[in-house]
Chain A
Amino acid sequence: MEWDWTFVAEIMPTLLQGLRLTLLVTLLSAVVAAGLGLAFAILRRSENRLIAAPVGLVIEFIRGTPLLVQLYFIFYVLPDIGIVLPPLAAGVIGMGLHYATYTAEVYRAGIENVPRGQWEAARATNLTPRQTWIHVIVPQAVPPMIPALANYLIAMFKETPLLSAITVLELMNQAKSVANSSYRYIEPMTMVGMFFLAMSLVSVVILRWLEHRFGRLAK
């Protein structure tokens, strides 16, 4: 079978539509992962072992099981207990939760890099734990970790095709439906691959810039 440029031009609008949804999903999940990951990291360091231990277990469990199965779980099992989520929301929650366990590790490294003196100073000035986190630790722990966090943003972008399995119409799903209705697989699948390659090349450039800008610790 030959490569057909007119067919490529024909399917391009559909694929671009899928790409837009892919980017949207990536950004939304990234926000969830960034926020939830910080919460995980802080809770895991809690002095109350009844909080720290279960959170640690949950993180390990989510990291040790496939995202696809977690997505199925959210999409198929939760409705049984009355939580019906639209595919997009299920996908964003699933991806965000999965990658939060990775970003939690990044935040942990950032938090551990804050010098001990900062903790002691916070205690000496009688700050509450909440104030310590918000005003002292997080502002120092997070910026050096931005390049590492951005790395996971790229990883998430590459995982978005999984959402096609729970019927989100992102790039891969659009390509599959085009391929199935026209019986031409070469162009749609290759184009999807090219899109991903192009996006990740662009993101490498952005990452370099972020490392330059923030990364005094990002080695």
Chain B
Amino acid sequence: MADWSGYLNLILQGALVTAQLTIYGSALALVAAFLAGMGRLAPWRAVRWLSTLYIEFFRGTSIYVQLFWAYFVLPFMGITLSPLAAGILALGLNVGAYAAEVVRGAILSVPRDQYEATVALNLTGAQRMRHVIVPQALPLMLPTFGNNAIELLKATAVVSLISLTDMTFQAQIVRAQTGNTLIPFAMILILYFAMALLISAGMRSLERRMTRGLDGVR
């Protein structure tokens, strides 16, 4: 039997890359989601149009195509990204497009009288968003954001195809070197599942924290 602790180490290193991609990708997705989601509700037509274009484009094409485009086509246009950067960019922008619709939906579901009240109180647009609308919309977004984060985690497996050494890539290496298929793949499946459980547990506790004190409001 080969040196299993070495292979285990390899897979755990991959798990670290997967975690990194998930965290950075989610951060980018969050920013993109808020920009585009609010952009679709902006009073300026150009901004609305641009946000819609972004959302439809990234939802309409496959994450896989976007990743390959970022990694193989952008260099020809003079933009060379490392595999990690290309991965984060594609994952973040893709999931961000889905999450943007969540942001938009949640903001729209805040009752109209809340808007009217902010007008009556003479709040500026930024104040209205920051103090009134977003704090009420956020708890509505969280459950779907949790699902989106898990989708992003699952999509990270795709980056192994652009030679990024994530968990899936490392499992393929272990498979190639040991000839054993069951152990590496079963192991990473379990690790992915554990990460997904971690995300949903984290999201649930965040949700509890956010909705504290909101009882009776809704």
Interface range on chain B (Cβ under 8 Å from partner): 35 or more
Question: Which 9 residue pairs are nearest across A and B when measured between Cβ atoms?
Answer: A66-B157, A64-B196, A161-B64, A158-B62, A200-B60, A68-B157, A66-B154, A185-B72, A65-B192
With contact pairs A185-B72, A186-B73 given, residues A66 and B156 touching in the complex (Cβ less than 8 Å) = yes
Determine which of B61, B64, B192 lies in contact with A200 in the assembled complex, contact meaning CB atoms within 8 Å: B61
CA A18 to CA B132, docked complex, whole Å: 51
Chain B binder among A5-13, A28-36, A69-77, A137-145: A69-77
Chain B binder among A44-52, A87-95, A191-199: A191-199
Q: Does A162 contact B (CB under 8 A)?
A: yes
CA A189 to CA B90, docked complex, whole Å: 14
Question: Closest approach, in angstroms, between the C-beta of B181 and any C-beta of chain A?
Answer: 5
A66 close to B69 (CB less than 8 A): no
**Total contacting residues, chain A, CB less than 8 A:** 34
With contact pairs A64-B196, A65-B193, A192-B65 given, residues A72 and B185 touching in the complex (Cβ less than 8 Å) = yes
CA A132 to CA B8, docked complex, whole Å: 51
8 A Cβ contacts from B69-122 to A: 69, 72-73, 76-77
Chain A: which residue is nearest B150 at the CB level? A64
CA A172 to CA B161, docked complex, whole Å: 12
Interface residues of B (CB under 8 A from A): 57, 59-66, 68-69, 72-73, 76-77, 150, 153-158, 160-161, 168, 171-172, 175, 181-182, 185-186, 188-189, 192-193, 196-197
Chain B: which residue is nearest A80 at the CB level? B181
8 A Cβ contacts from A170-211 to B: 172, 176, 179, 185-186, 189-190, 192-193, 196-197, 200-201
17 A–B contacts, CB within 8 A, in A order: A61-B193, A65-B189, A65-B192, A66-B156, A68-B160, A68-B161, A69-B171, A69-B188, A70-B189, A72-B185, A158-B61, A158-B62, A179-B72, A185-B73, A193-B65, A200-B60, A201-B60
CA A179 to CA B75, docked complex, whole Å: 14
Chain B: which residue is nearest A68 at the CB level? B157
CA A29 to CA B189, docked complex, whole Å: 22
A161 close to B192 (CB less than 8 A): no
B185 close to A76 (CB less than 8 A): yes
Determine which of B63, B72, B153 lies in contact with A189 in the assembled complex, contact meaning CB atoms within 8 Å: B72
B57 close to A80 (CB less than 8 A): no
